[in-house]
Amino acid sequence: MPMLHYRCADRIVESDDAEATILDISKANGIPHWHACGGNARCTTCRVRVLDGLSHLSPRNDDEARIATARGWDTTIRLACQTHVTGDVMLERMVLSGTDASQLQLEAVGTRGGEEREIAVLFCDLRGFTTLAESHTAFDVVHILDRLFHSLGEQILLHGGVIYQYVGDEISGLFGVDGGHAKRACRGAVRAALGMQEALALLNATLVEEFGIQLRVGIGVHYGPVIVGRVGHPVQKHFAVVGDTVNIASRIQSMNKECGTDVLVSDAVVSKLPEGTISSAATFAAGLRGKAVPVQVHAVTRLTSAV
C-alpha cells in the first residue's frame, strides 16, 4: 500500500484507493491542504513539492501540464488535486497560509511590482446585516456568514475569478487578473453574479428552516483598468487592486438598494459581451461622486448560454 510522508506536517499516511488524488488523501486524513478552486486545476493552491518518489506519481494531465508550463514549474512541483499515487512518496505542501494564497494571486498577475490590468470587479453585499446581527447570537451570525461566504465564494472560483476580500458583510471577486480576453473576464463575472443568486436561493431554503431567516444580497459588476501589486509593510505585504474601477464597482453594488434590484452590471461589462446575450429588466443612470457623466447600469436577470 503506497505511503505518503508529509514532511512539514510530520505525518505518514497510507492509501489503498487508486482513484484518490493526493488532495483526496490529505482530506481523508485530516491534513490541512489548501484547495481554493475545489480541486479543479484552476488555482494552484494545492500544489506540493515532491521530495522523493517522483516516479510513483501519475503523469501530468493536460490541465496540470498547461499550468506547469505557464508558471515554469520543474518536475517536482505537482498539483495535488490532479495527481495520483502508485508508490511511496515524500512531499511538502507549498501553500500553508492565507498570506501564501495571496502571494499566489499575485503570481497569477505575473508581477512583483505595480502593473495596470483591465479586469472585471464584482462586489456582493449582504443586505439587512444589522437586523441579522441584532436578532441572533454572535456564534449564529458567524455560522451564517460562514455558510453565506462559502456559497458565494464558490461561484467566484467556479467562473474563473479569484476571491479578493471579505470585508464585514461584503465579498469581492476579480476576473481577468491573469490576463486573457475582456469577454472571458466579463462573462465570468456576470455568470458568478447570477450564480450567486441561485446559490443564495438554495442556502435560503435551509436557513429558513434552521434560523427562520432569508438572506438577500446586492451585486455590482464593473470592468476597467486597475493597478495590481503588493502593498503593505515589508514583512506583511498583500495583494491589492486599486483604482476608479474598484470604486465604481462598489458604488454600483450600493445602487441596488436605490433601484430595488439584485444584480447591476455596468455598460462597460455589457459592451464586452456579444450583443443580445444579456437579459436586462431595466437600465439606470448611476451618478457617481466626482464624475460629470453618469454610468449606465443594467439590472441583469439572465445570460444566454451562447455567450
Distance CA(188)–CA(303), nearest Å, equals 11
Q: Does 105 bind ligand FES (CB under 6 A)?
A: no
Instruction: Name residue, grid cell 501553500.
Output: 95
Q: Please tell me the count of residues contacting ligand FES according to CB under 6 A.
A: 12
Within 20-39, the residues that bind ligand FES by CB under 6 A are: 35-37, 39
Q: Does 43 bind ligand FES (CB under 6 A)?
A: yes
| Binding string, residues 260-299; x marks residues near ligand FES by CB under 6 A | ----------------------------------------
Contacts of 175 (CB under 8 A, 6+ apart): 119, 120, 121, 122, 159, 160, 161, 184, 185, 186, 188, 189, 192
43/246 with CB nearer ligand FES? 43
Distance CA(304)–CA(78), nearest Å, equals 36
Q: Does 41 bind ligand FES (CB under 6 A)?
A: yes
Q: Does 44 bind ligand FES (CB under 6 A)?
A: yes
Q: Please give the single-letter amino acid code of residue 160.
A: G
From the list 126, 182, 193, 125, the residue with the least C-alpha distance to 159 is 193
Q: How far is the CB of 195 from ligand FES (least distance, A)?
A: 18
37/278 with CB nearer ligand FES? 37
Q: How far is the CB of 60 from ligand FES (least distance, A)?
A: 12
Q: How far is the CB of 33 from ligand FES (least distance, A)?
A: 8
**CB burial of residue 138 (10 Å; 0-12, 13-18, 19+):** exposed
When binding is defined by CB under 6 A, the residue of 15, 26, 45, 261 that contacts ligand FES is 45
Distance CA(45)–CA(157), nearest Å, equals 12
From the list 53, 69, 49, the residue with the least C-alpha distance to 61 is 69
36/226 with CB nearer ligand FES? 36
Residues forming contacts to ligand FES in the complex (CB under 6 A) are 35-37, 39, 41-46, 79, 81
